[in-house]
Amino acid sequence: MYKKILSFGAVIAILDQIIKNIIVSNVAFADSIKVIKNFFYITNINNTGAAFGILQDGGIIFIILSIIALVGLIRYVIIDKNIVKLEAISYALVLGGILGNFIDRIMYGYIIDYLDFYFFGYNFPVFNLADMCMVIGFMIIIFNMFISKGETNEINISRRKK
């Protein structure tokens, strides 16, 4: 299973890099292209912080954290032989997201963000595919933890009744 997880994660990182290259080649820095007026724009910006622009100017700290996360996650998926499909998808999403942004940090010293949404007058922080994959992956992991915890509690309750 780990080969599929690592492969899917690599595909996500490669796709992320291809999209970023297209954005940088076609949209001037700090410019936007309107896709859906007052809702969705493609905006080329640089982000020295974490996902969605938080903790700006993290620099080497984010590189070190990315390396630790990548090594830890890769080690975990190689060692754990009981990973189910939903977990595999979530780990691949997180892995691909971390790797995609890590490549940016190493190559440029910042992350290229481009997805720019407005919701009811609020301009959501600009983000990219890697950010989106990490968030979705972590949401699946958290959701899966609650589902697994519920199943474990039901098993424990049924055992006590006997």
Number of domains in the chain: 1
- The angle, 0 to 180 degrees and rounded to 10, between the axes of the packed helices 60-79 and 85-108 is 150
State the catalytic residue, choosing from 16, 104, 113, 116: 113
Question: Does residue 64 fall inside a structural domain?
Answer: yes
Q: What is the pLDDT of residue 54?
A: 62
- Give yes or no: 131 in active site: yes
pLDDT digits (tens, 9 = 90+) for 120-156: 889 999 999 999 999 999 999 999 888 876 554 443 4
Provide the residue range defining the domain that includes 56.
2-147
Question: Does residue 152 fall inside a structural domain?
Answer: no
Q: What is the pLDDT of residue 19?
A: 98
Question: Does residue 78 fall inside a structural domain?
Answer: yes
- Give yes or no: 113 in active site: yes
Three-state DSSP string of the chain? CHHHHHHHHHHHHHHHHHHHHHHHHHCCCCCEEEEECCCEEEEEEEECCCHHHCCCCCCHHHHHHHHHHHHHHHHHHHHCCCCCHHHHHHHHHHHHHHHHHHHHHHHHCCEEEEEEEEECCEECCCECHHHHHHHHHHHHHHHHHHHHHHHHHHHHHHHHHC
Q: What is the pLDDT of residue 121?
A: 86
Q: What is the pLDDT of residue 157?
A: 40
Question: Does residue 80 fall inside a structural domain?
Answer: yes
Instruction: Give yes or no for residue 58 having a pLDDT over 60.
Output: yes
pLDDT digits (tens, 9 = 90+) for 71-124: 999 999 999 988 989 999 999 999 999 999 999 999 999 999 999 999 988 999
Q: Are strands 40-47 and 122-123 parallel, antiparallel or unpaired?
A: unpaired
Longest distance between any two alpha carbons in the chain, whole Å: 68
Question: Does residue 157 fall inside a structural domain?
Answer: no
State the catalytic residue, choosing from 16, 104, 116, 131: 131
For residues 119 and 28, what is the distance between their CA atoms, to the nearest angstrom? Answer: 24
> Within 10 A of 124 (CB to CB), how many other CB atoms are there?
12
Question: Does residue 92 fall inside a structural domain?
Answer: yes
This prediction's pTM: 0.85
Question: Does residue 71 fall inside a structural domain?
Answer: yes
CA 156 to each of CA 143, 160, 162: distance values in angstroms, whole numbers, following the listed order: 20, 6, 10
Question: Does residue 30 fall inside a structural domain?
Answer: yes
